[in-house]
Structure 1
């Protein structure tokens, strides 16, 4: 086997023709080489950062990622000696971006790691900066959901999006569709809420002319309309029990009969479902079919509530304000943002959007201040009740405002470990308190 130096030179030559951006690293985090694709996408003035530490280039960290609270693929690959993959936010010439990082260890003939190859794929399904459309976020809880989305999107596996109402399930479904081989096909959304059994069947499967009173012409069902694309069943937990067996047959065979028809129609689609309901508990209670549950939940993805990703609040607010039509874009003041951080947001991102739409109507100079927010946000209730529970970040911030002891005293008072308290303070932007 060639010596490590010769091996690395051959590797650099090979990677030069790789379509994906790639760099070669030594075992001390130094960048030894970068291919043309990396120089074009991540280099400055088409120059590679040869000799610099990878964590300083990608994250502006003075120490390795694993020592700065990130998951470091190099540390994992060093121990496992197999490829490791992780989703990071990297600094790029275009600003912060989500990047799928794959790190492969290079072994010598004794099996020792002598170098690493890092290949980077920019994720276009979500942004780490304010955007006019699509998913945005940087918080760990959001990145976890995005990493799962990135894995599932290219496959055919049925995806089940689980999360509270208002967490952006349709945006996630759209991102899965756009990241799939079916992106050029249709994305058909079926809202399963409030549909009777007969209405659900006619909407999903369509009907023939004369099938029932008022059926004056043939109608193509949503399942047929999704042929070649993605069928998104939103709030699938609302599907009537009697219809679930027909839905199961559709998913298993891709075939169905329109209402009032003897002909069988075949539709080829990728299935994405979403719900805020506890489907496993519904299966146990007999209100949701077990066989249907296992057919739709091949790849479950949990979407975080807004209170679990409060550090994304400024990014989400700026993005939502950019997306609102009409008058010039409004801006949140720091004081308004501070008040919003104390709010638990039970309605999640949908509630945030409604709050901002209302507030900007009062902001005549384009600056949203606390007095423009709803009463319970502009003037939160007494904070004394926050002591002793602090189940969410809003309550924790209120408790912190009144408590005069040390951080360890506060943790003990709230019945939390110091580590848990630190994580929650960090989510509030108060990690140094």
Structure 2
């Protein structure tokens, strides 16, 4: 193809890109920007003639030489479009950007030109913004890119992560990025509802369906019509309700409690759990067919210990939430102390810690002393010498159920924690803890 033909084709492609609202550039395999549409120029200025990594990052070398993934190098290697999530410098500050690179050969015959498409993620920030998901770490960005890929589809998403990692926040981000903001987002905590209440809450009921049903009630499945149904702690859903949820997903319809007519269901499902559902399937406490229905697109949320570099950023954002208007900040020692903590309760624990510290701080600077000032010790109290209570283990093998029950009883007696705190440490819900304790009480003979 002659240079004249190439120029004519580039001019045609450039005019097409100028009509788009999202930022687009045309680059060469030497990273040179040949054209930038108005949307791109509004964010990065006049960049034609610059290298793409200089315009978006300020780098003097390609992204892969600066420790970032480079979509151009990936495309040159694979010959296919490639997609990454970067943090770009824009006119509005540093922002998370979904970058997709497409070889122009697909549409023009050019083998050495590429279109780079940018899409900003409005629900996430690389800055300490109090009303968004905050982070810069590779683990955080990998999670965001998966969420960004899932958002436009109608596929079921399963969010997997420890308690306090922000599963509902990510679910809302997927919902908001997947269509018009006015669509309903209905959240259901499966762990907080009894079996009978869960069914009536999900599916609603007809007048007279049971004592006290004075009028028809719309269920949450019906309320989610056209939007997203978020089922939190799906691992705590009783088996009797799992089969009803499976029927809903397979048939796309449901019946209210006490009703006979099928009602079509139209919602996008996002479920979340801190449990290992595959292990629950193996032990028979979670249906395999429901698991495969839910886990079409699983996304793992990293615990805070895997994204320690985000802790100072998160702490600054959380301080704006828990103490608005106070201009609180952490001193250097306090930031370092936070980074070194285990945070088994993840972001929720970090928020609670900062809120307590803000109440203990009279000035505008939080020190490690305010962070360490807790009403309980960092670990369970150790019995005095000669009076130690042994763990409930013996040198002989015991049935697993007996061992689990004995350990739970020991933990309740010797941990020194509240039931809520103990449930968090054991990584179970309060409801599950109370159920196990009730079973233990039934098995314990009266004295």
Length-normalised TM-score, structure 2: 0.79
Partner of 2:420: none
Q: Please tell me whether the aligned partners of residues 98 and 127 of structure 1 are also in contact (alpha carbons under 8 angstroms).
A: yes
> What secondary structure does 2:179 align onto?
coil
Match runs of 1:393-412 below 5 Å: none
Q: 1:157 to 1:108 in 2, by over 3 A?
A: closer
Is the CA contact (8 Å cut-off) linking 1:78 and 1:113 kept in structure 2? Answer: no
Distance (Å, rounded) in 2 between the aligned partners of 1:352 and 1:21: 36
Q: Select the residue among 248, 262, 265 that pairs with 2:263.
A: 265
Unmatched runs of 5 consecutive residues or more in structure 1: 382-433
- Does residue 130 of the first structure (1) align with residue 132 of the second (2)? no
Tell me, yes or no, if the aligned pair for 2:125 and 2:135 is still in contact at 8 Å. Answer: yes
Aligned position for 2:342? 344
1:317 aligned partner: 315
Aligned to 1:173: 171
- 8 Å CA contact 2:312, 2:339 repeated in 1: no
Per the alignment, residue 144 of structure 1 pairs with: 142
How has the CA–CA distance of structure 1 residues 141 and 376 changed in structure 2, closer, same or farther, with 3 Å as cutoff? farther
What SS does the corresponding residue of 2:112 show, helix, strand or coil?
strand
Task: Classify 1:374/1:217 alpha carbon distance in 2 versus 1 (closer, same or farther; 3 Å).
Answer: farther
Aligned-residue RMSD, C-alpha: 2.3
Rounded to whole Å, the distance in 1 between the matches of 2:222 and 2:15 is 50
Q: SS where residue 31 of structure 2 aligns?
A: coil
TM alignment of 1:32-43, pairs within 5 A: 32-43=34-45
CA contact (8 A) 1:257 1:263 kept: yes
Q: Among residues 190, 198, 201, which one is paired with 1:200 in the alignment?
A: 198
In the alignment, what sits opposite 2:273?
Answer: 275
Corresponding residue number in structure 2 for 1:297: 295
Q: How does 1:386-397 map to 2 (within 5 A)?
A: none
Q: CA offset at residue 375 of structure 1?
A: 4.7
> For residues 227 and 112 of structure 1, what CA distance do their matches in structure 2 show?
46
Question: Segments of 4+ in structure 1 off by > 4 A?
Answer: none
Query: How do 1:34-433 residues align onto structure 2 when only pairs under 5 Å count?
Result: 34-43=36-45, 48-107=46-105, 113-181=111-179, 183-324=181-322, 328-375=326-373
Q: Deviations over 1:11-65 (max 9, x none)?
A: 333322233211222222222221212112332xxxx122222112211222111
Deviations 1:215-249 (A, max 9, x none): 33332211111112110000000000111111111
- Verify the 8 A CA contact 2:189 2:233 in the aligned structure 1: yes
* Displacement of 1:304: 0.6
User: Secondary structure at 1:259's aligned position in 2?
Assistant: coil
Does the CA-based 8 Å contact 1:101-1:120 persist in structure 2?
yes
User: Structure 2 vs 1, CA of residues 74 and 101 (structure 1 numbering), >3 Å: closer, same or farther?
Assistant: same
For the pair shown, which has the larger CA radius of gyration, 1 or 2? Answer: 2
Cα gap change, 1:361 to 1:27, in 2 (>3 Å): same
Count of residues paired in the alignment: 376
Distance 2:190 2:364 in 1: 39
Deviation for aligned residue 1:86? 1.2
What is the match of residue 26 of structure 1?
A: 28
Give the alignment's TM-score, normalised by structure 1: 0.82
- The 1:108–1:193 alpha-carbon spacing in structure 2 relative to 1, beyond 3 Å, is closer
Looking at structure 2, the residues matched to 123 and 195 of structure 1 have their Cα atoms a distance apart, in angstroms, of 34
Segments of structure 2 that go 5 or more residues without pairing to the other structure are: 380-447
Distance 1:10 1:210, change over 3 A: closer
CA contact (8 A) 2:323 2:355 kept: no
Cα contact 1:224–1:267 (8 A) shared by 2: yes
Name 2:443's counterpart in structure 1.
Answer: none
> After alignment, is 72-81 or 292-301 more displaced?
72-81
Q: 1:328, CA displacement in angstroms? A: 1.8
